[in-house]
Amino acid sequence: MTPLRSALLGLALLLGLALPAFAVLPDERLADPALEARARTLGQELRCLVCQNQSIDDSSSELARDLRVLVRERLVAGDGDAEVLEYLRSRYGDFVLLRPPLTPATYLLWFGPALLLAGGALALGLKLRRRPRDAAPAPLTEEESRRLAHALEETPAR
């Protein structure tokens, strides 16, 4: 095996290990593939309340496991996706959603980054506008021209 192939194989192995490991356990999975796919999709939209930066589908915490089981129970009972999300939202608040709804309470969350970017661009634009421009120098007056010519005549040649 060439060194390049070995390096590429090692890189592929490292990248494969770096992918997120799903925490859904085999005993949680539903027999119906369609319902399981819906449960996995919903699991990616719900935040683990312990880990906070992971979905319940990616988290291995006990609470995330309980939420995954609850989602599957609601789906088996016949709830739609929106009903499952609303049920969990009513119990845990908007924080359980990885993409919170657009409400006055979340305006800063949704629009804050764009406002910061626009503010930075405005500040940069004002700073550049106030900077002195490189203008052509004013032409020499007659007096300045004579003094310059006189100074050049007195300077010894090298």
Mean pLDDT over each residue of the chain, to the nearest integer = 83
Mean pLDDT, residues 35-51: 88
User: What's the average model confidence in pLDDT over 56-72?
Assistant: 89
Over residues 54-76, mean pLDDT: 89
pLDDT of residue 103: 86
User: Mean pLDDT, to the nearest integer, of 64-89?
Assistant: 91
pLDDT for 35 beyond 90? no
Q: Rounded CA gap, 52 and 154, in Å?
A: 80
pLDDT at 84: 92
* pLDDT band at residue 157 using 50, 70 and 90 as cut-offs: low
pLDDT-derived band at 20, boundaries 50, 70, 90: very low
Q: Return the SS3 of 13.
A: helix
Q: Residue 48: name the closest of 26, 66, 74 by CA.
A: 66
**C-alpha distances out from residue 113 to 53, 109, 116, 117, Å:** 18, 8, 5, 6
Q: Please, are residues 71 and 88 in contact by the beta-carbon 8 Å criterion?
A: yes
Interval 131-151 mean pLDDT = 86
Whole-prediction pTM: 0.57
